[in-house]
Structure 1
């Protein structure tokens, strides 16, 4: 009751202040994602817009084939063999970020190999890693467990799975999830 009254007074005295903000002031946030079809890119943009995060697209040095069967076969082989394909570019450091959202299509129940390459390249101690996945029925698969293994020392928050065909209309689900995990701007 006292908190409600205090928040009402703050809102009246400082009308421009966002009393719904959940992300601590000064917290640096990055959204890093790999997208093959564009669905994960769209979801990454929604998350960045809602959090005020910087955005980094994870791009493999050698592009994946555009033909569906070829991509599926290549991804299955890379995942089974633990391949870490080279990336075109990556941030020199993530030391300046407190929270890193990591997005990927769910391939064979886990993150795409370029995302594994990205995650394996940094020290995650003290960071919060927040996964999000686009899928066609597998939801998160075992990606959260796999991310925990790659991000030793990080806190891995509950991820968000969004079916690929529903991405364009997922803004409310994204906002609800971000509020639930206390990461809105």
Structure 2
């Protein structure tokens, strides 16, 4: 554990000691050499800093989302407008257009938390484009509100996608969060195989322990259904049992969707040797 923390800290220093504009560091291709896109919406610049760091770490394209009508500069006016849009379900039109969206396999989606949830411009983005079969990776920043509700919203808007565990950062800690971002990218499998061959992940809310061996994938805890998906987003297997045969699957990285008893969807990375 100490060695792992040391290596992650060292990697954070190598990649970037600050969120500077330097482009001297060579980004790492995503696992499987898939094509990645980092999309973000920001107001104060905190989310942009995180998006920039992900872009410098992962070989990717990067796009900032902007609305046709800019939001008010006044913070209080912004809060009022945002609340009205969220309550009414209004999705503001975007001035940003992303060409060749179909060419991306992995899409990082970054945003600030507004009134405890996903801001309306992100809702517009996730409903305007087809994310079927893509891997969607949410990340967000806020002064205090957790990102959990917003991650559930992204899940609801991307039902035909594989939505990985999101990252939430407090705005006050963004500039010192490089190591946390790297740990997250490693944990969700974007930076590649951790070399263990068997990965066990425990979901703290639902206590689902996931393990995979050469022949079987096993999940402990209560759930409604398991769905195994490959890196291309294609469904490989589905079961209501706690053990899923995987002996006929080739070695590689897969994603397991756990449909929980409380109707939430938990997505975990599993590695088969």
Secondary structure of 1:124 counterpart: coil
* Cα displacement (A) at 1:22: 8.0
Match of 2:159 among 145, 152, 168: 152
2:146 is the counterpart of 1:142: no
The structure carrying a bigger helix percent of its residues is: 1
- Contact persistence 2:29–2:59 (CA under 8 A): no
Count of residues in correspondence between the two structures: 165
Secondary structure of 1:104 counterpart: strand
- Residue in structure 1 matched with residue 138 of structure 2 by the alignment: 131
* Cα displacement (A) at 1:136: 1.2
* Cα displacement (A) at 1:116: 0.7
Unmatched tracts of structure 1, length 5 or more = 1-20
- Residue in structure 1 matched with residue 111 of structure 2 by the alignment: 104
Please, what is the CA RMSD of the aligned residues? 1.5
Q: Distance in 2 between matches of 1:23 and 1:85?
A: 32
Q: Distance in 2 between matches of 1:24 and 1:170?
A: 22
In 2 relative to 1, CA 93–109 (structure 1 residues): closer, same or farther, beyond 3 Å? farther
* Cα displacement (A) at 1:145: 1.3
TM-score norm. by structure 2 comes to: 0.58
Secondary structure of 2:101 counterpart: coil
2:43 is the counterpart of 1:48: no
Unmatched tracts of structure 2, length 5 or more = 1-27, 193-273
Q: Distance in 2 between matches of 1:143 and 1:104?
A: 10
* Cα displacement (A) at 1:25: 4.2
2:62 is the counterpart of 1:32: no
* Cα displacement (A) at 1:122: 1.3
Divergent runs of 4+, >6 A:
none
- Contact persistence 2:30–2:36 (CA under 8 A): no
* Cα displacement (A) at 1:172: 0.8
Q: Is 101-110 or 86-95 further displaced after alignment?
A: 86-95
In 2 relative to 1, CA 24–78 (structure 1 residues): closer, same or farther, beyond 3 Å? same
- Contact persistence 1:30–1:99 (CA under 8 A): yes
Q: Distance in 1 between matches of 2:185 and 2:54?
A: 8
Q: Distance in 2 between matches of 1:129 and 1:36?
A: 22
TM-score norm. by structure 1 comes to: 0.85
Q: Distance in 2 between matches of 1:88 and 1:56?
A: 12
- Contact persistence 2:113–2:141 (CA under 8 A): yes
Higher relative contact order (CA 8 A, sep 6+): 1
- Contact persistence 2:31–2:189 (CA under 8 A): no
User: Deviation per CA, 1:16-67, whole angstroms, max 9, x where unpaired?
Assistant: xxxxx78334300001000011000111001111111110101011111111
The structure carrying a bigger strand percent of its residues is: 2
